[in-house]
Structure 1
Amino acid sequence: YLIPQNQVEKEKQLEDMIKLAMVDGDFAPAEHKLINTVGAKLGFDKKELDQLVEKHIHKIKVK
C-alpha cells in the first residue's frame, strides 16, 4: 500500500481492506482489529471508523 495523500485515498484504502477481509464472507475479529488500527493511524476516530466499516460492509453485501 502507498501512503494515502488525501481523505478520499484514505477511505479507498480502508474500503479495499474491508473488501479483502470479506472475501470469505466473514469479517473476523482479527480483521476488524487490523482495520481499526490502520484507520486510527490514518486519522479516523472510532465513530468514523465504525461508520465507514458499516457502510462498506453493507455495500459489499448488497452486490
Structure 2
Amino acid sequence: MPTLDFSHLTTDQRLDLIAELCDSIDHDAVPLTEAQIAELDRRLVMLDAEPGEGRDAFEALIDLRRRHA
C-alpha cells in the first residue's frame, strides 16, 4: 500500500479524518483481547456494587478538554 501524504491537512483535519476512519470500522468485526474483556468485567462489577458512583462520560470529556485547551 502506498504511503499517503497528509502534510497539507491541519491537525484538526487530521483528527477529524482519524475519527471518521474509526467510525467506519465495524466494531463487531474487531475482537476484544482477553485483557480488555477482563477490564470490562471488572468495571461492570464495580458499577453493580456502587451504581451511584462515577461520572457522566460527557462531563468527564468536557473537563478534560478544558484542562488541556
Which structure shows the bigger proportion of residues in helix conformation?
A: 1
TM-score, normalization: structure 1? 0.30
Q: Which is greater in Rg?
A: 2
Relative contact order higher in (CA < 8 Å, ≥ 6 apart): 1
